[in-house]
Amino acid sequence: MKKLALVSAISLAASGQVIAAGYKLPENSINGTALSAAYVANAHGADAAYYNPAAMVFNESGASLEANLTAIHLTSMDYSGAGGSDSSKKENFLIPSFHYVSPEMGNARFGLSVVTPAGLTKRWSGLGASTAEEFTLKTVEINPTAAYKINDQFSVAAGARVIYSMGVVKSGLPAAGFRDMDGDSFDFGYNLALLFKPTDVLSLAATYRSKIDLTVSGDARIGFTAGPTTMYNGDVSVLVPVPAALNLAAAYDVTPDTTVELVFERTYWSAYDQLDFNYSVNLATIHAGLAAFDNPSIKNWSDSDTYRIGISHKLNNKWDLMAGFAYDKTPIDNKYLGFELPDTDAKIFSLGAKYKYSDKMTIGGAFLYDKKDELSLTPADGNTGTGGAFSTATVKDAAAYLLTVGLEYKF
């Protein structure tokens, strides 16, 4: 395929910028969206299978499942600078998710989540189309997990990650070269988790998700627009990492009805050092003008940090209220920014509510707003881009809106 559009955003999720820095998408349940993913040490219910499977063993007795649907809207971002101006297309997505936790089996419990851990779509029709007419990445992760309660204070868990990815990459302008690629892959990883309750009001947690290299392969069509003339029609493959991530969290019951959680997340984006497409032949031997499509694109992303806070409040026997905030640092140095993903730091705001419809069923909804900082580049940043684009640039008005609705059922 083509690197799965990953190059541009490396879950989202959503987005040419997704909902997190790079291309991660951490919002995969009502709680996850409502709390800006500050939901690790206080994870409970069916979605604990994904956010902290070690917490499953502290769920209420019986099994539970949760089904959600998240609508994502990405605004158009405006570029002005070297080479002219352009605006990306607005994007809309519907992303389902599913979580299940088994009944107790002694001190053990099993869980299963089906989520979208990463994604990206960025489309430009003018200047940006030269390198990113379309960069689309779609992923689905199946995450079975198992947890064990060592005692009433400590539990551990582990799981397998199976990610199916598919992507499309298109670029080119009239009277210039073009590329049109698509592909897919199945790839594997693991996750680990632990939960420690030193007191009745304090919970400490850590989770780790391994890096998964997406080994995308598919078909490519490359040539020159004038004609049109296709000069290469064959195989293409690329390796793109979904980076490892470490979460450290603490949740404290300020009152019997109110819990505050703090989460520090470290995402190891330094695994994304270059984007290198491999073809069955050296494109330069076909035509010197195609060499640019065969040269590795340097990324040199850096490990990045995200700081999250979430507040959960039990209003009464029927209603639970939630709110969250996160500050998300971009992993991309200004020197390597491009139309595929002109990412910047972001501030994330969220809120949500759940209603206990019956002893077995709870319904709810959550809203999240992700606002990217304005990007401003000068020649001092050393970004030469493609044909000079991005050497001097301003990119603004980038934002994402999420609305998650769903229900949880206990049986």
Chain CA centroid to CA 15, Å: 8
Distance between CA atoms of 64 and 100, rounded to whole angstroms? 6
CB 69 within 8 A of CB 116: no
Task: For the chain, 411 residues long, give each residue's pLDDT as a single digit of tens.
Answer: 333 333 333 332 333 334 445 556 788 999 999 999 999 999 999 999 999 999 999 999 999 999 999 999 988 888 888 778 888 888 888 899 999 999 999 999 999 999 988 776 778 877 777 777 777 778 899 999 999 999 999 999 999 999 999 888 888 765 567 888 889 999 999 999 999 999 999 999 999 999 999 898 999 998 887 766 888 999 999 888 889 999 999 999 999 999 999 999 999 999 988 888 889 999 888 888 788 788 888 888 899 999 999 999 999 999 999 999 999 999 988 888 878 777 889 999 999 999 999 999 999 999 999 999 988 888 888 887 765 677 888 888 888 999 999 999 999
- CATH fold of the domain at 3-410: Porin (2.40.160)
Tell me which H or E stretch contains 34.
helix 30-34
Number of neighbours of residue 168 by Cβ within 10 angstroms: 20
In the chain, domain spans: 3-410
Q: What is the pTM of this model?
A: 0.88
Q: Which residues on adjacent β-strands are paired with residue 365?
A: 353, 405
Number of neighbours of residue 53 by Cβ within 10 angstroms: 32
At 176, the amino acid letter reads A
Phi, psi dihedral angles at 47 (to 5 degrees):
-75, -5
Q: Can you tell me which residue has the tokens 């603490």?
A: 250
- Find the DSSP H helices in 38-153: 48-51, 129-132
pLDDT reported for residue 53: 98
pLDDT reported for residue 206: 98
Token pair belonging to 130: 């030269």
- The closest of 381, 336, 379, 344 to 82, measured between CA atoms, is 379
Tell me the three state secondary structure of residue 50. helix
Phi, psi dihedral angles at 21 (to 5 degrees):
-60, 145
Burial tier of 365 (Cβ tally within 10 Å: 0-12, 13-18, 19+): middle
